[in-house]
Amino acid sequence: MTERRYDPAEIEPKWQRVWAQEHTWEVSNEPDERPKAYVLEMLPYPSGEPHIGHLKTYSVGDAVAHFRRRNGYRVLHPMGYDAFGLPAENNAIKTGQPPREATEESIRAFQREFRAWGISIDWSRELSTHDPAYYRWTQWIFLRLYERGLAYRKEAAVQWCPVDQTVLANEQVIDGHCERCGSPVEVRQLEQWFFRITDYADRLLEDLAVISWPEHVNTMQRNWIGRSEGAEVTFRNDELGIDYPVFTTRPDTLFGATFFVMAPEHPDVFRLAAGTEHERAVHEYVNRAVQESAEERGDTDKAKTGVPLGRTVSNPVNGERIPMFVADYVLMEYGTGAIMAVPAHDQRDFDFARAFGLPIRQVVVPATGEAPPEDTAFAGHTGDESLVDSGHFTGLSSTEAKLAITDWLDREGRGHASVNYRLRDWLISRQRYWGCPIPIVYCERCGIVPVPDSELPVELPEVDDYAPRGRSPLAAAEDWVRTRCPSCGGEARRETDTMDTFVDSSWYFLRYCDSHNDAAAWDRAAVREWMPVDQYIGGVEHAILHLMYARFFVKALADMDLLDVQEPFARLFTQGMITRQGAKMSKSKGNVVSPQTIVERFGADTARCYILFIGPPDHDADWSDSGVEGVHRFLARLWRLATEVAAQSGAEPVPDTPAGADLELLRKTHWAIDKVTRDLGGGRFAFNTAIAAVMELVNACYAARRAGAGVGALRFAIATAGSLLFPFAPHLGAEAYELMTGGRVWEQPWPEVDEALLERDTYELVCQVNGRVRDRVDAPAGAAQEELAALCRAAPNVQAHVDGRDVVKEVVVPGRLVNLVVR
RNA sequence: GCGGCGGUGGUGGAAUCGGUAUACACGAUGGCCUCAAAAGCCAUUGCCCGUGAGGGCUUGCGGGUUCGAGUCCCGCCCGCCGCACCA
């Protein structure tokens, strides 16, 4: 007799065929009595084959989706591809393979793998962002934003890679260098398209309170928005009669301003210096500063540099004339591009004042009245300090003075309360081929003209040459570029830049609700039915950009009365990275584990379970080959148990009044139901402990069998193990359940706990003396406190430790312990 | 510098409400099965003392609250992540 072995290559395709043939995971938009649940993992970027991170994301999401379904929810769990983007284009430049071809090849690999992994996807809603049927609506949304003034074109300083001949997104610039080729980036002035996300800064900040996201992601979003409250204060240059507003968060230190600094890019710098003795020096300084790389410029350790402008401005609170400088530590992009410098209360101003021998005047002192040492005066601002040498504001607390001085400025017309943000408008233009074309034409007569909705999509033309030449490769497709003006019918030229791929992924979750609609981006009722996403799952690397942009889109679309939600993702889960030998997996390090190899060798169930068992899914975890084998052994143990018990005589029922090994096993089974249910319920992601509980149950089955448990109890325990394991190992879960019951586990409701079986007649009472465990005794379940205390006092080792001393206190925690306090 | 998260056996980790610290797994050691190997099964496994019963110690460090602290409070140390010349 040849013994059969656990063979996932046989079991897994069998169940995958059933699910595919029966379209098991498809869900209709028609509401029924069940509540809805929209479970979504971030869509993959199809480049090459799926990697281990994908396996983790979709294993987590699938567990959530399955658990929800079996708890009575109607679950939307779709899939798509974020298909446009730079890697496919780079590959095209290198190999000549058109981006569409490479991308679609990769999409096929993802489709194949998702099926091989057994992920429960509603394939009927599949989409890809490079499909004209999809990006037609990306363009449509662009036009809606344009109509509302939320998409606009302006000249701006952008990051330019001189080697790759293209503009780079901020996120592609690492420490002032091009992420791709490593060369230092330059700043160029170019006309670009922007989305006015800054209009939404406050709402994006405030609404973080209404969504349930991990605190660190909220923090990152808050930092990124960077809201600062303060005041705008106007300083006047009397010689030229020009007012210069500055932003400050410390209006209370206004009397301490001893000089004034402008950014090198400030448009008035040359005009101010003109005709002064410093004119030449200013030109030299500004030219040098603007050529500096972002890296050099941004170095906080760098000594402060700058030159005088030879002019002064007067301080609105006291009329004092203070000298003006130009210095590169002031940034044009933030505030007004000019600052009042208060060296006593700002580290940077302090450093500059020291370097240039400028006066340092302390105007705020700690409430104790004692002045701290000069070089720490600016540290530790709490609002409790009080003002000195500040005219009639002297004596006010710092917090009071902020308000009082701002009020005074307002009344005098010299300033007002103001808020500044770090957040910048979203630059969406890319001088690249493989992206969504911007639906705009330029007409000499009419200027910027939007392509009418009826002419969408503006399809991406085929080109031969994808190499960047300092302009979008699309510019070479002359036939495509030349068009007629939709407004006057005259000659016009198309916009040749494409959109940032983050635009594509900022609304895909809406399209899933109604992905084949060719009359509209979505049907409002369908979106109302499913949105918001109840559980969103993905990597932390998208904590800022993608998640901020998607929130912005939803808010903007809601403002246009196209949506009924304010936030796209009600709950967010960010999974940790899988590393190997402590390092991020990468081809160059040669430490890559391919999910394909693991699935081939051990099966998808092992791969998925291992990834969920390795540790809390939000933490990084290091891959271990022996850990995988351990999980595989566990699954094989369950399979072997199920087949062996299935071979035993037929329909023995679960005993009505179980005893002995049967009772022990049923108790363990209900303990496992309870444990797994609590580990997955209430939005918990404790897959590792849930799987551990099923392991304990399987171990208990083996022990019960040795102890003579009956087939009825064993069948129930094994079927339950399969049922509880199903969200993590769907194939084996279904197989074990079918072997035991003949039924389909996914059609069964989630198992229910029999509370009566969680309770025991007796339990182990812990006996402590002075808080230390000295003995354990059996105690009856319902015993009164007095009885428990007596049991504890009677325990032999307790008596040894009490040793005739006085028991001054007895702490009784029924169901757990008794603690005797002796002296 | 600002903000966030974390530190538990040889390893990954567990402890959900202040109540038996180290579940589950990996690794290791011993044994069974076998001609042998693989696979499987059984047992032991935080550290120290002890033949044993048992005792002592242990959740980064130092204090505190409590009958009782991995968990709460105060002060440190270390690590990771985000932001950062943002006025």
- pLDDT for A376 equals 46
Sign of torsion over alpha carbons A595, A601, A604, A606: negative
pLDDT at A2: 44
Q: What is the mean pLDDT of residues A455-484?
A: 88
Confidence of residue A368 (pLDDT cuts 50, 70, 90): low
- Does residue A532 have a cis bond before it (omega within 30 degrees)? yes
Cα–Cα distances (Å) from A235 to A79, A174, A261, A359, A763, in that order, read 57, 37, 11, 18, 79
Tokens describing residue A317? 């609170």
CA of A689, C1' of B6: distance in angstroms: 20
Report the b/e string of A188-213 with b at 16+ CB within 10 A.
eebebbbbbbbbbbeebbeebeebeb
Q: Which helix (H) or strand (E) holds A538?
A: strand A535-539
Q: Is the pLDDT of residue A373 over 60?
A: no
Closest-lying nucleotide for A615 based on CA to C1' = B13
Scanning every strand, the nucleotide with its C1' closest to A674's CA turns out to be B16
pLDDT digits (tens, 9 = 90+) for A599-630: 999 999 999 999 999 999 999 889 999 999 99
Residue A696: both structure tokens together: 């304990």
**Quick check: A236 and A243 in contact, CB under 8 A?**
yes
CA→C1' distance for A255 and B25 (Å) = 66
Q: How far is CA A628 from CA A595, A598, A606, in A?
A: 12, 9, 7
Q: Which residues contact A242 (CB under 8 A, 6 or more apart)?
A: A236, A268
CA of A724, C1' of B34: distance in angstroms: 37
Q: Which nucleotides of B are covered by protein (CB under 7 A)?
A: 2-5, 12-16, 19-21, 23-27, 39-42, 54-56, 67-69, 81-87
A633 CA, B30 C1': Å apart: 22
- Look up residue A576 and give its DSSP letter: P
Report in angstroms the alpha-carbon separations of A603 from A8, A10, A11, A116: 5, 10, 9, 9
- A375 pLDDT band, cuts 50/70/90, is very low
CA of A772 to C1' of B64 (A): 20
Could you tell me the distance in Å between the CA of residue A615 and the C1' of nucleotide B8? 14
User: A441 is written with which tokens?
Assistant: 């034409």
User: Which nucleotide has the shortest C1'-to-CA distance from A228?
Assistant: B86
The residue among A521 and A398 whose pLDDT is bigger is A521
User: Taking the C1' atom of B87, which residue's CA lies nearest?
Assistant: A248
Confidence of residue A313 (pLDDT cuts 50, 70, 90): very high
CA dist A655 → A697, A709, A720 (Å): 18, 11, 16
Tell me the ipTM for this assembly.
0.95
Report pLDDT digits (tens) over A680-689. Answer: 998 899 999 9
Q: How far is the CA of A707 from the C1' of B32 (A)?
A: 19
Closest nucleotide to residue A775 (Cα to C1')?
Answer: B20
The answer for residues whose C-beta is within 8 angstroms of residue A169's C-beta and 6 or more apart is: A159, A427, A430, A500
Angle in degrees, CA A412, A413, A414, rounded to 5:
90
Give nearest nucleotide to A170 (CA–C1').
Answer: B83
pLDDT single digits (tens) A95-146:
889 999 999 999 999 999 999 999 999 999 999 999 999 999 999 999 999 9
Tracing tokens 């987590």 back to the chain, one arrives at A60
- The pLDDT, as a whole number, for residue A185 is 72
User: For residues A689 and A685, what is the distance between their CA atoms, to the nearest angstrom?
Assistant: 9
Query: Nearest nucleotide, C1' to the C-alpha of A424?
Result: B86
Residue A377 confidence (pLDDT): 45
**Phi, psi (rounded to 5 degrees) for A317:** -80, -25
- Rounded to whole angstroms, the distance from the CA of residue A688 to the C1' of nucleotide B82 is 27
**Single-letter amino acid, residue A522:** W
Rounded, the Å distance between the CA of A160 and C1' of B86 is 22
Q: Is the dihedral of CA A113, A119, A120, A122 positive or negative?
A: negative
Whole-number pLDDT of residue A802: 82
Separation CA A37–CA A40 (nearest Å)? 10
Report the sign of the C-alpha dihedral through residues A434, A435, A441, A444, in that order: negative
Say which nucleotide is closest to residue A379, CA to C1' distance.
B1
Torsion A22-A25-A29-A31 (CA) sign = positive
pLDDT in tens, A46-95: 988 999 999 999 999 999 999 999 999 999 999 999 999 888 888 888 88
pLDDT of residue A339: 95
Round to a whole number and report the distance in Å from the CA of A353 to the C1' of B41.
79
Fill in the amino acid letter for A150.
L
Find which nucleotide's C1' atom is closest to A345's CA.
B87
If phi > 0 it is left, if psi is from -120 to 50 it is alpha, else beta; for residue A226 that is left
- The two beta strands, A817-822 and A762-769, are parallel
Measured from Cα to the C1' atom, the residue closest to B3 is A219
| Residue A415, pLDDT score | 94
Distance A378 CA to B2 C1' (A): 15
Pick the closest to residue A503 from A150, A121, A97, A54 (CA basis).
A150
* pLDDT score, position A189: 76
Mean pLDDT, chain A, integer: 90
Q: How far is the CA of A771 from the C1' of B73 (A)?
A: 21
- CB neighbours (10 Å) of residue A386? 21
- Which nucleotide is at minimal CA–C1' distance from A576? B81
The DSSP bridge pattern shows strands A74-76 and A36-41 to be parallel
Distance A615 CA to B10 C1' (A): 18
Question: In percent, how much of chain A has pLDDT > 70?
Answer: 95
In A294-439, the DSSP E strands lie at 307-314, 321-326, 338-341, 364-365, 386-387, 415-420, 426-427, 429-430
Give the amino acid at A539.
Answer: G
CB atoms within 10 A of CB A822: 15
C1' (B10) to CA (A493) span, angstroms: 69
Q: Write down the pLDDT at residue A398.
A: 87
Q: Which nucleotide is nearest to A610 (CA to C1')?
A: B25
Dist CA A681 CA A678 (whole Å): 5
- Average pLDDT of A577-597? 85
Q: Which residue is nearest to nucleotide B83 (CA to C1')?
A: A223
Q: Give the model's confidence band at A290: pLDDT under 50 very low, under 70 low, under 90 confident, else very high.
A: confident
Q: What average pLDDT does this structure show over A459-473?
A: 84
Label residue A183 by pLDDT band (50, 70, 90): confident
Residue with tokens 């031969």: A464
- In this complex, the residue with its CA at the shortest distance from the C1' of nucleotide B69 is A771
Q: pLDDT tier at A558 (50, 70, 90 boundaries)? A: very high
Token pair, residue A390, equals: 């500040």
Would you mind telling me the total number of residues written for chain A in this entry? Answer: 823
Q: What is the 3-state secondary structure (H, E, C) of A243-268?
A: EEEEEECCHHHHHHCCEEEECCCCCC
Q: What are phi and psi of A630, to 5 degrees?
A: -60, -45
Nucleotide nearest to A329 (CA to C1'): B85
